[in-house]
Structure 1
Amino acid sequence: MTSSFRRVAVLGLGLIGGSLLHALRLTSAEVVGYDVDPSTAAAVSASGFSVAASDAEAVAGADLVVLAMPLPDVEAALRSVAPHLPATAVLTDVGTLKRPVLDAVRAIAPGTAFVGGHPLAGVEDTGWAAADPLLFRDAPWALVLEDDTPLDAWLRLAELVCDLGARPVPTSAAEQDAAVARVIGLPHVLAEALALTGLAGGPLGLSLAAGSYRSGSRVARTRPALVATWCDDNPALVTALDDAIARLVRARDELAADGSVLELATAGHDARIHWEQRRFDPVELPADREHLRAHGAGGGWVTAVLRTEGGVRMLGMRPVDA
């Protein structure tokens, strides 16, 4: 598989960075990793991957640099690596929230061709041992396209994401963060609350806990520090929680008045079935930032970036009812 990048440096080799290292080895790109944890770096090297001794060594000659460390570590990593970034390199990341990283890059490495990224492919397990070369297959991958994002850098990264089997979704940082508040942050907060509420019911309740409890609280198994990085500093999560709390209060009031949760159950059932049964049509997309952002906001994604003598052709999928 021919890569749109010649040399890729992945900084941070946990679940996402490690999976990306695995997946990139299936392309034509030269790939090198780096991790601040010596034991992780040693394990990756023992698995046959090229691992640099420093971040400066890793990014030397790279035309794509991926920041794959937790959000609290991004600023320090940026300050360390910024003096060594090749002038023509594209910089991206794989974190859940995009606005904090975008602000940090603008402050620490202004002028860098930065394309914020977020592969929505995580699982509860973390670390290099959980890395999976197929983790990104068919997964949405938000790619931030701001007014100052170099369009060619965005297109090259979208092409690579397609080659990895994922679905690039054009979006702005603000829209991405607002969306993940409801589909990542909120589910995690609710899962933690469910796990605690179930525990408070005593041993009998836990002995009777079955599929509903397991499914609803499953992501509470995620490392707490990671959950905090996905939820903290995202004002949109407050709005999402207000929405969920209002629905729960209405259900509580119905039950307190000897009513029913049928209305909530029906609406939730219909919403879930609608999501599962969405249909999509293929579409050709112009390489234009406004059209691309509108495509992403409407629920669409990119399926291919084709470079021809006449320029760039883009193919995508969009919801039938969009």
Structure 2
Amino acid sequence: MPDSFDRIAVLGLGLIGGSILRALARGGYVVSGYDPAPAEASAARGAGYTVAASAPEAVAGADLIVLAMPLPRLEAALVEIGPWVAPNTVLTDVGTLKVPVLQAVRRRLPGARFVGGHPLAGTEESGFLAGHPLLFRDAPWALALEPDTDLQAWLSLAVLLCDLGARPVPTTAVEQDVAIARVIGLPHMLAEALALTGLRGGELGLSLAAGSYTSGSRVARTRPDLVATWCDGNPGLVAALDDAIAWLTSSRDVLAGGGSVRSLAEAGHRARMEWEHREFGPVDLPVDAEALRQHGRDGGWITAVVEKDGPDLGELRLLGMRPVR
């Protein structure tokens, strides 16, 4: 079977890191956290969790390190903990964009057993107090499998994530970032634009705003610095914006000519309903990196890693789900 983790360190105790700390402790794992912000560290410590006084103290002796700090702080954190990371320690992260994180780890900790991760389970709230141990239940969790990724480390993390109730999705850093541009970056930018457009309509419009406006602009409540880290530096977002602008421009021209936006409404309705009503079926997967990546491209995820007849990787059985066509 893949390695189990005897001691886990979580660096960064905001919404995601704090929820991971809670979930791991709830699952019986030995876990300690660290956050340079006194308020977050104090909140976690006050809730009864083990919180180290420094990042090196947190990671010393850990066999899994979860990097849950904002992207701008990542590189400095890698430099700080580098001397205390043991050769066999597995590192993962929870950042929205995977390419910048992968590049930073390769610069600062070359040869590290790093597996990029991204739980799709956030809210517009932030901070330790906004977290919950069940935040990741049934949530997709991108788990990057690069050509040089340690497969044993990847499988060990997949087991852990399944234990937390999440759905590990095999992918690569590049493919994940391209996909995320359309389902995270673009929705956030549209929400900001909608909030500004509604405001420009004056007080009457704002007093009449109801479900469509509040739902569409909800994620504009997210901290702006976080939104920037999710969008900046992702080339895939440019293509996603081009597609959205093309739809809006076409509809704008139709309206200006006295026509109807029904074709846009019908296409959008059909796309949403097809996504909502996808059906999924179980599959057995080989312990093969490319087969796993293809499983992710096909919309699948891992449900379990089980042992067949022996401890070798070739004796493992991977169970998953994927859309039924």
Normalising to structure 1: TM-score of the pair?
0.98
> Which residue does 1:209 correspond to in 2?
209
8 Å Cα contact 1:59-1:86 kept in structure 2: no
Give the equivalent residue in structure 2 for 1:312. 316
Indicate yes or no: 2:221 matched with 1:225. Answer: no
- What pairs with 1:29-68 in structure 2 (closer than 5 Å)? 29-68=29-68
Question: 2-side partners of 1:280 and 1:235: how far apart?
Answer: 31
1:270 is paired with a residue of what secondary structure? helix
Displacement after TM superposition at 1:45 (Å): 1.0
**CA separation in 1, counterparts of 2:27 and 2:263?**
50
Secondary structure of residue in 2 paired with 1:198: helix
1:197-217 CA deviation, whole Å, 9 max, x = no partner?
Answer: 000000111111111001110
Paired AA for residue 287 in structure 1: V
Deviation at 1:43, TM superposition (A): 1.7
How far does residue 308 in structure 1 lie from its aligned partner after superposition? Answer: 3.6
- Return the offset for 1:29: 2.0
- Deviation per residue, 1:280-314 (Å, 9 max, x gap): 00001111100000000110000001134332111
**Which residue in the other structure is 1:163 paired with?**
163
- How far apart in 2 are the matches of 1:247 and 1:4? 48
Q: Which runs of 5+ in 2 are unaligned?
A: none
Match of 1:237 in 2: 237
Residues 75-154 of structure 1 correspond to what in structure 2 (within 5 A)?
75-154=75-154
Q: Distance in 2 between matches of 1:252 and 1:138?
A: 39
Q: Is the 8 A contact 1:68 1:95 kept in 2?
A: yes
C-alpha distance in 2 between matches for 1:257 and 1:83 = 66
State the partner residue of 1:274: 274
CA apart distance, 1:222: 0.6
Percent identity between the two aligned chains: 68
* Partner SS, residue 25 of structure 1: helix
* Cα shift readout 1:87-116 (whole Å, capped 9, x = no counterpart): 110000000000000000111100100000
- Paired AA for residue 119 in structure 1: P
Amino acid across the alignment from 1:304: A
Deviation at 1:42, TM superposition (A): 1.7
Distance 2:42 2:220 in 1: 30
Query: Is 2:198 aligned against 1:198?
Result: yes
Find the residue that maps to 2:61 and give its secondary structure.
Answer: coil
Residue 21 of structure 1 aligns with an amino acid whose one-letter code is L
CA distance in 1, matches of 2:247, 2:145: 34
| Structure 1 outlier segments of 4+, above 6 Å | none
Counterpart amino acid of residue 5 in structure 1:
F
Question: Once the 2 structures are TM-superposed, how far is the Cα of residue 46 of structure 1 from its aligned partner?
Answer: 1.3
The answer for unaligned runs of 5 or more in structure 1 is: none
For residue 226 of structure 1, what is the amino acid of its counterpart? Answer: L
SS at match of 2:50: coil
AA of the residue aligned to 1:116:
G
* One-letter amino acid matched to 1:314: L
Deviates more, 1:156-165 or 1:302-311: 302-311
